[in-house]
Amino acid sequence: MRKLYLGADIGSTHTRILLADETGQAAGLGVSGAGNHEVVGYDGLIWSLTDALEQALHAAGATRAEIAGAGFGVSGYDWDCETAPTLEAIGTLGLTAPVAAVNDTILGLLAGTTEGWGLAIVSGTGCNCWGWDRTHTRVGRVTGGSLQMGEAAGAGELMVRAVQAVAHAWTGRGQPTILSDLFCQQTGEPDLLHLLEGLNTGRCALIPADAPLVFQAAEMGDAVALELVRWAGMELGELACAVIRQMGFEGESFEVVLTGGMFNAGDRLIQPLRETILAKAPGARLVRLKFPPVVGACVLALNQAGIQPATQFRADLAESLQRMGGELPEEL
């Protein structure tokens, strides 16, 4: 009987389950709805997991008995009190293979680092940062609580500050910015006064997915937008430095994996991030995540079966997944 390994990337928008073999060949992919319990509850997590698994099994022509290991990266899985209900939800899948569940940020480490340890920074709608040591026995982390916990460098927080900037431009507290025109165009409002009126009354809205407008303004040389993007990079760097201190990585040589749509801002965001991290840990190396996080989940699945994947496993699996039509772009 063939052996397959189940990797699951469970997010706030989609749940993806990939079945693959030990050589890095994708056998079946299933994509369902949100699985973050903070968004859909644990019943929603169970539904999305079940739906995605059935799709993947059908695509692979496989049964649960062929699954030899499973790794789950779970968005919203941040605290000890969430362990039992998360594992209970996974348990409803009826798997007999060894299983591991981690915060989904860890998938970036497994997919993006050479040796499966270091730091991973996620900046999409929100932001997070986790670290893992060489032995996978110690973790470091921030809270993942965004603004409430003073961690504010995702697209949601960037847009809050961008809206504040155009409001300050109108009141005279801040300098004029091309963001005012871009936001009017985006919402269909005729001018800045109507934009602010619409945002205050609910007639229109600016959302995290509009963050590329800030990147666009920065590309155009707008001073306000440039400062917003630089602030985001420095804030992400401070999150990373907190985890570096927790892990004692100051003198280590390690990789920092960057994942999430915010990094599409390019060097204007990444350079201040790099400067902040290198001031704390000169041996850190920043790398963009090249492979989908679900590939990292499959690495975790192999580990549960006592297998250390070959060096080419990640690249081979990502290529196989792409041939299957399952390339998974980064989104805000």
Q: Which of 83-92, 126-135, 219-228 has the lowest mean pLDDT?
A: 126-135
DSSP secondary structure, 151-220, as one string: ---SHHHHHHHHHHHHHHHHHTSS---THHHHHHHHHT-SSHHHHHHHHHHTSS---GGGTHHHHHHHHT
The angle subtended at Cα 154 by Cα 272 and Cα 110, nearest 5°, is 80
Mean pLDDT of 87-99: 97
250-288 burial code (b ≥16 CB/10 A, e <16): eebebbbbbbbbbbebeebbbebbbebbeebbeebbbee
For tokens 């496993």, the residue is 313
> Class for domain 115-290, per CATH?
alpha beta
Distance of CA 248 to the CA centre of its chain: 24
Do 115-290 and 4-103+291-323 have the same topology in CATH?
yes
d(CA 234, CA 223): 16
Backbone φ and ψ of 202, nearest 5° = 90, 5
Q: What is the CATH number of domain 4-103+291-323?
A: 3.30.420.40
Instruction: For residue range 59-84, list pLDDT tens digits in order.
Output: 999 999 999 999 999 998 989 999 99
Tokens describing residue 193: 């006064």
Query: Residue 330 pLDDT more than 60?
Result: no
Q: 3-state class of 256 per DSSP?
A: strand
166 vs 330, more confident:
166
162 Cβ contact partners less than 8 Å away, ≥ 6 residues apart: 179, 183, 206, 211, 213, 214, 225, 228
Instruction: For residue range 15-64, list pLDDT tens digits in order.
Output: 999 999 999 999 999 999 999 999 999 999 999 999 999 999 999 999 99
Amino acid symbol at 248: G
Q: Give residue limits of the domains in the chain.
A: 4-103+291-323, 115-290
Query: Is beta strand 4-10 parallel, antiparallel or unpaired with respect to 15-20?
Result: antiparallel
Q: Could you tell me if 208 and 156 are in contact, meaning their C-beta atoms sit under 8 angstroms apart?
A: yes
120-129 burial code (b ≥16 CB/10 A, e <16): bbbbbbbbbb
pLDDT at 325: 77
324 vs 243, more confident:
243
pLDDT at 331: 54
Instruction: For residue range 268-315, list pLDDT tens digits in order.
Output: 999 999 999 999 999 999 999 999 999 999 999 999 999 999 989 999
d(CA 162, CA 182): 11
d(CA 154, CA 189): 25
pTM: 0.88
Amino acid symbol at 319: E
Mean pLDDT of 9-15: 90
Strands across the sheet with 67-74, in order? 26-32, 15-20, 4-10, 67-74, 99-103
